[in-house]
Amino acid sequence: MAQYNELPVYKATYDLLLGIFAFTKDFGKEYKYTVGESLKKETIDLLTLIYRANSRTDKAEVLQTAREQIEVIRLLIRLMKDMKQINLEKFVKINETVENVSKQLNGWQKSVKSS
């Protein structure tokens, strides 16, 4: 079993977390301590779920929760774009990372179901 921190999905999620920390610092005060904190917490929770899934034999349930988590993160990021807290360029860049994580979680979940 690969070390959790060597998993591509873990690395991609960690990069997502770094990106979220970088752009939430520019949020307006009203959003920084509400949605900004939620985004950080949701992404940290996602990293924890990836670690848990990697260390368990029965991964299916944890991976399903992780997939739900990435959708919450996607929603919050979109909300911040619509509230003009993230410009289009940053939104596109962070969304590529979200999509990367989402596809990897999807693939992992499919490989678990088929094994």
In the chain, where the domains are located: 4-109
At CB < 8 A and 24+ separation, what contacts does 32-37 make?
35/76, 35/79, 35/80, 35/85
Could you tell me which CATH number the domain at 4-109 has? Answer: 1.20.1440.60
Q: What was the pLDDT predicted at 115? A: 75
What is the mean pLDDT, run by run of 10 residues, along the chain of 115 residues? 79 96 94 96 97 92 97 97 95 96 96 85
The sign one gets for the Cα dihedral 65, 67, 71, 77 is positive
pTM: 0.92
Q: What was the pLDDT predicted at 1? A: 54
Q: What was the pLDDT predicted at 102? A: 97
- 8 A C-beta contact, residue 73 and residue 97: no
